Amino acid sequence: MGNRKQPFGYRMELGVIVRHPQEAALVEQIFRQYLSGSTYNALVAELRSQPVPYDEGKVWNKNMLARILEDKRYTGESGYPAIIPAAALAKASEKRSAKQRPSQQTEEQKVLRRLCGHRVTGQTERQVLNLLNRLAGKPERIAMPHTKESPQSNQWQLQRELDAVMAQQPIDEEAAQKLILSIAAAQYGAIGNEEYETARLQRVFAQAQPMTQLDAELLQSTVSAIFTTSSGDLAIRLKNNQVIGGSLEQ
Quote the pLDDT of residue 190. Answer: 57
Has this prediction a pTM greater than 0.85?
Answer: no
* Residue 151 in this model has a pLDDT that exceeds 60: no
Distance CA 116, CA 135 (A): 19
Instruction: Give the whole-number percent of the chain exceeding pLDDT 70.
Output: 87
**Region 150-158: what's the mean pLDDT?**
64
Q: How confident is the model at residue 149 (pLDDT cuts 50, 70, 90)?
A: very low
Q: Is 236 in a helix, a strand, or coil?
A: strand
Contact between 218 and 204 (Cβ < 8 Å): yes
Residue pLDDT, tens place only, 60-82: 999 999 999 999 999 999 999 99
118 versus 38: which is more confidently predicted? Answer: 38
Query: What strands, in cross-sheet order, belong to the sheet with 223-228?
Result: 223-228, 234-238, 243-244
Nearest to 40 by CA among 100, 114, 82, 124: 100
Residue pLDDT, tens place only, 74-103: 999 999 999 999 999 999 999 988 776 666
Alpha helices in 101-172 (DSSP H): 107-116, 122-137, 153-167
Residue pLDDT, tens place only, 160-195: 787 787 878 888 888 878 878 877 776 655 555 778
